[in-house]
C-alpha cells in the first residue's frame, strides 16, 4: 500500500500532466494550423512537443533532483495563431521553430545574450503578448453567434469553476468542448486509425521573413512569458533553477522536435507550481519525484494525443477555439495588467499592443515583431526627450 507521501507525489504529478495538457492543447493545434500545418502535421506537432516536454522534464528532474517541469510555449502557440502563414509556408515555420531552439540554447551558453533579452522592458513584452492573445480570446464571443448552443455550456462551466476551482476552469472547459464535439457527424465518423501516434517529418527551410516574423517573437515571448516566470515560481518555493541546464535542454529539445512540428519547449510557469508546491508533499527534497511523474504522464498523453487532435480538428467550427480562448483569458488579463503597470511606459505599451493587434505585415514580417519594435523605439525616444538639458 503506497504511503501518504507517495500518494501526494503521484497525485501532484498526474494533476500537473492533466492541467498542463488540457489547458492549452487546442491553442497549440490552432497555432500550428495557422502557420500552414495540415491536420496530420498539426497532430504530429502536438505529439512531438508533448513527448518532448515529458522527456525533458524527466531528464532535468532526475538529474538535478529538483521539481523542474518543462512545458510547451502556450504564448508562443498563440503567437503562431496570430501571425498566420509566412513566406515559405509550413517548412519555413518549422525552420523558425528550430531557430528559436538555437536561440534558447545560445542564451544558455552565452550570458550576454540573456542580459540583452532581459533589457527588453517587461511592459513592452507583455503588451506584445496581450496583442497576440486578443484575437484568440475573442473566439468565445464570436462562437456564441455561430455555434452558441454548443459554446454556451462551455462558457457557463468555465464561469462557475472560476469561482469554485480556478485551476480547473480551463481544462474542464476543453474537456467539455471535446465531448460536445462528438455531436458532429464528422467527429463520429473518424476512423480508429486516427488514434495511432504518427510523426510527420518536414524538412526545415529558412527565410528572413519567417525568422523575423516567427523565430524572434517566439523566442521573446517564450523567454518573457514562460522561462522567466518559471524561474520565479521555483524561487517562490525555495528552489534555484539551473538556468543554463534548463535552457540548453529546452533549446536542444526544441531543435529536435521542430522537424516533426513541435514549436517550442520551455520552463513551465503555472503548472510548475503544482509539482514544486506543498501539493507534492511536505518534504521539499522529494518533490522532484512529482515532476518526474508529470514527465512520464506527458509522454503517455503525447502518445495518445493523435486522437485528441483529430477530434479537435474535426469539431464544429469555433467550438474548440472558443474553449482555447477561454483558457487564455487569465493570461490576457495578466499581460494587460503588466503592460500598463508603469505609467511612463503606458504610451509605448499601447503602441506595441495596437501594432500587434493590427496584423500588418510589411515586407512579409508579422505584426508581433513590428509591435515590439514600435514599443522599444517609442520608449527609447520618450526617455531621450525627457532627459534634462544642460544650460550652456
pLDDT in tens, 99-158: 999 999 998 887 665 556 656 788 888 888 888 888 888 989 998 888 888 899 999 999
By C-alpha distance, which of 72, 73, 66 is closest to 275? 66
For the record, the C-alpha cell of 329 comes out as 483569458
Please give the backbone phi and psi of residue 71, each rounded to the nearest 5 degrees, phi first.
-135, 170
**pLDDT at residue 56 above 80?**
yes
CB 36 within 8 A of CB 89: yes
Residue 191's Cβ-side half-sphere holds a number of Cα atoms within 13 Å equal to 3
Q: Is 64 part of any domain?
A: yes
Cβ neighbours around 256 below 10 Å, total: 17
- Is the pLDDT confidence value at 392 over 60? no
Among residues 66, 76, 63, 72, the alpha carbon closest in space to that of 21 is found at: 72
Residue 160 domain flag = yes
Is the per-residue pLDDT at 244 higher than 70? yes
Helix (H, G, I), strand (E, B) or coil at 119: coil
DSSP string, 254-280: HHHHGGGT---EEE-STTHHHHHSGGG
Task: Give residue 138's domain range.
Answer: 4-385
Tell me: pLDDT of 98 over 90. yes
- Structurally, the chain folds into a number of domains equal to 1
* Lowest mean pLDDT, pick from 64-68, 293-297, 311-315: 311-315
Is residue 392 situated within a structural domain? no
Assess contact for 238 and 199: CB atoms under 8 A: no
Instruction: Say if 317 falls within a structural domain.
Output: yes
Measured CA to CA, the distance from residue 236 to residue 230 in angstroms comes to 10
Neighbouring CB atoms inside 10 A of 91's CB total 17
In this predicted structure, what is the pLDDT of residue 117? 60
- 162 domain residue, yes or no: yes
Q: How confident is the model at residue 65, as a pLDDT?
A: 94
pLDDT at 361: 77
DSSP 363: G
Enclosing H/E stretch for 71? strand 70-72
For 268, phi and psi rounded to 5 degrees? -70, 150
| Rounded-to-integer distance, Cα 293 and Cα 147, Å | 38
59 within some domain: yes
Ranges 81-90, 217-226, 284-293, 359-368: which has the least confidence: 359-368
Q: Is residue 318 one of the residues assigned to a domain?
A: yes
Amino acid at each position: 500500500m503506497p504511503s501518504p507521501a507517495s500518494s501526494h507525489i503521484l497525485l501532484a504529478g498526474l494533476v500537473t500532466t492533466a492541467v498542463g495538457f488540457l489547458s492549452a492543447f487546442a491553442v497549440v493545434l490552432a497555432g500550428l494550423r495557422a502557420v500552414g500545418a495540415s491536420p496530420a502535421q498539426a497532430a504530429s506537432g502536438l505529439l512531438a512537443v508533448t513527448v518532448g516536454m515529458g522527456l525533458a522534464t524527466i531528464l532535468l528532474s532526475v538529474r538535478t533532483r529538483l521539481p523542474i517541469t518543462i512545458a510547451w510555449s502556450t504564448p508562443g502557440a498563440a503567437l503562431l495563431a496570430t501571425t498566420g502563414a509566412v513566406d515559405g509556408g509550413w517548412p519555413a515555420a518549422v525552420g523558425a521553430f528550430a531557430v528559436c531552439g538555437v536561440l534558447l540554447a545560445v542564451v544558455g551558453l552565452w550570458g550576454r545574450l540573456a542580459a540583452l533579452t532581459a533589457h527588453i522592458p517587461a511592459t513592452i513584452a507583455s503588451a506584445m503578448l496581450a496583442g497576440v492573445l486578443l484575437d484568440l480570446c475573442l473566439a468565445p464571443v464570436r462562437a456564441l453567434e455561430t455555434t452558441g448552443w454548443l459554446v454556451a455550456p462551455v462558457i457557463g462551466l468555465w464561469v462557475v469553476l472560476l469561482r469554485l476551482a480556478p485551476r480547473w476552469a480551463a481544462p474542464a472547459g476543453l474537456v467539455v468542448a471535446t465531448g460536445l464535439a462528438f455531436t458532429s457527424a464528422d467527429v463520429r465518423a473518424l476512423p480508429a486509425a486516427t488514434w495511432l501516434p504518427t510523426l510527420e517529418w518536414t524538412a526545415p527551410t529558412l527565410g528572413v521573413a519567417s525568422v523575423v516574423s516567427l523565430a524572434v517573437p517566439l523566442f521573446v515571448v517564450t523567454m518573457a512569458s514562460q522561462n522567466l516566470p518559471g524561474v520565479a515560481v521555483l524561487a517562490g518555493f525555495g528552489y534555484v533553477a539551473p538556468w543554463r541546464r534548463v535552457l540548453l535542454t529546452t533549446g536542444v529539445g526544441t531543435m529536435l522536435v521542430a522537424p516533426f512540428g513541435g514549436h517550442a519547449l520551455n520552463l513551465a510557469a503555472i503548472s510548475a507550481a503544482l509539482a514544486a508546491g506543498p501539493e507534492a508533499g511536505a518534504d521539499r527534497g522529494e518533490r522532484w519525484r512529482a515532476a518526474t511523474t508529470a514527465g512520464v504522464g506527458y509522454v503517455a498523453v503525447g502518445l495518445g494525443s493523435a486522437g485528441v487532435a483529430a477530434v479537435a480538428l474535426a469539431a464544429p467550427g469555433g467550438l474548440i477555439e472558443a474553449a482555447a480562448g477561454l483558457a487564455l483569458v487569465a493570461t490576457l488579463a495578466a499581460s494587460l495588467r503588466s503592460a500598463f503597470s508603469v505609467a511612463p511606459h503606458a504610451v509605448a505599451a499601447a503602441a506595441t499592443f495596437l501594432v500587434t493587434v493590427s496584423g500588418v505585415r510589411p515586407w512579409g514580417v508579422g505584426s508581433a515583431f513590428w509591435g515590439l519594435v514600435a514599443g522599444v523605439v517609442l520608449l527609447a525616444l520618450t526617455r531621450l526627450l525627457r532627459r534634462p538639458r544642460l544650460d550652456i
